[in-house]
Amino acid sequence: MILFYIPCPDKNSAQSIARTLLEEKLVGCANIIPGMESMYWWEGKLETSSEHILILKALNTPDAQSRITKRVEELHPYEVPCVMTLPVLGINPAFKNWLEESQR
């Protein structure tokens, strides 16, 4: 399994990305966490914004990271979106089976 951490500007954009990737069977599950405050440099200025975090769960196939990252970049409203991939060290067998079935 592989996890993706993707900050989004609002709930609608997070839902739209999640729905598209689920419909395309690129991921098996998506979680949206509201209310994160982000601070970052953008175009020489320190910025602060409220964001929603999109967490995606997918099977770790040979091309999963590149395919999902590319698709998120196409769908995301940010000019430079953060698409961070996190490896999963373990997963319970029942959830793994469910995830495999979800992406077929």
pLDDT digits (tens, 9 = 90+) for 39-70: 999 999 999 999 999 999 999 999 999 999 99
Position 98 pLDDT exceeds 90:
yes
What is the pTM (predicted TM-score) of this model?
Answer: 0.93
Position 34 pLDDT exceeds 90:
yes
Mean pLDDT of the chain: 96
**pLDDT recorded at residue 104:** 87
**pLDDT recorded at residue 87:** 86
**pLDDT recorded at residue 90:** 93
Average pLDDT over residues 71-88: 96
Q: HEC states along 26-81? A: CCCEEEEEEEEEEEEEECCEEEEEEEEEEEEEECCCCCHHHHHHHHHHHHCCCCCC
Biggest alpha carbon distance in the chain?
Answer: 48
Show the domains of the chain with their CATH numbers.
Answer: 2-103 (3.30.70.120)
Nearest C-alpha neighbor of 51 from the set 65, 29, 32, 27: 32
Asked whether 53 and 36 are in contact (CB, 8 A), the reply is yes
